[in-house]
Amino acid sequence: MSTPMDLSGKVALVTGASSGIGQATAEYLAERGARVAVVARTAERGRETVERILAAGGTAIFIQADVEEPEAIAAMVEQTVDHFGRLDIAFNNAGMTGAVAPFHEQSLSDWDQVIRTNLSSIFLSMKHEIIAMLKCGGGSIVNNCSGAGVMAAPGLPHYTAAKHGVLGLTKSAAKEYAPHGIRVNAICPGFIETPQLGRYIDGPEARAAVEAGIPIGHMGQPIEIARAVAFLSSAEGAYISGDTMFVDGGVMCR
C-alpha cells in the first residue's frame, strides 16, 4: 500500500533549488520517493542541495541554469529527461522581487529584468516541460506565485504584474492540457522564512509588525510550501488543476 503523497517512480524538476522554498521542496519531493533534478544558478549551493538529498537516501542530480537565459531553460529540461528518461513533476520556483520604489521611479531596466525572471521564464519553463510531459502521457506543473498575483504589492509594480501573469499562464495551460493528462496549478506563499524575505524584514520590530497581520500569528516555513507542492503533484491532488492555492497563514482572507 502506498503512503500519502507517494511519488515513487516520479521524476521532478525544481528550479531555484539552492535555498529556501526551492531547496525544501527538492528535498521533500525526494523524501516522498521522487528522483529530483535540482536546478540552480549557483553551482556550489545547488550541489549542497543534492548532497543533502543523497545523504538522506534520495536520488538527485544537479543542473546549473539561469532562468533568465532561454537556452538554459530548454537545456535543464533536456538534461533531466536525458538522465532520468522522463519528466512527471515540475516546480517552477526561481524568481526575484526586484527593487522597491514608487511606480513613477521604476526604471525600464528593472521592469525588464523582473518580467524576464518571474514571467517569461515561467512561460518558457512550462513550454519545455509540457513538451516533455506530453511524451510521458501527463504530469503536474506547479508555479510559485505570490499574493501579489491577486492584489497589488506597493512599490513593486513589476513584481505585481509578473505574478498576475503567472496565474494567467497557469490557468491557460491547465485548460489547454487537461485532456492530455497535464495538470497545472499555482501556489501563493505568504510570509515564509527564507533568505530572500530576510532582506526585507529587518529586525524584531519589523518581524512583529508582519506577524501581527498574519491570522495564524507567525510566519511560515519553507517545508509548508514543499508539502503543498507534493500534494498537488501526487495522486491525492489528481482532480485539482488551474487552481491557485494560498499557503499564507490566512493573510488573504483578511
Q: What integer is the mean pLDDT of 8-23? A: 97
**What pLDDT is attached to residue 68?**
94
pLDDT digits (tens, 9 = 90+) for 142-161: 999 999 999 998 999 999 99
Res 2 pLDDT > 70: no
**What pLDDT is attached to residue 204?**
82
Q: Are 76 and 13 in contact (CB under 8 A)?
A: yes
Taken in order of first residue, the domains within the chain and their CATH numbers are 11-247 (3.40.50.720)
Q: How far is CA 122 from CA 48, 68, 117, in A?
A: 24, 10, 8
* Catalytic site residue from 28, 159, 177, 239: 159
Active site residue 159: yes
How many Å apart are CA 198 and CA 105, to the nearest integer? 24
Q: Which of 118-122, 240-244, 249-253 shows the lowest mean pLDDT across its residues? A: 249-253
Res 1 pLDDT > 60: no
pLDDT digits (tens, 9 = 90+) for 30-50: 999 999 999 999 999 999 999
pLDDT digits (tens, 9 = 90+) for 78-101: 999 999 999 999 999 999 999 999
- The sheet with strand 35-40 has its strands ordered as 59-64, 35-40, 11-14, 89-92, 139-144, 182-189, 244-247
Reported pTM: 0.95
**What pLDDT is attached to residue 195?**
75
**What pLDDT is attached to residue 108?**
96
Residue with cell 527538492: 26
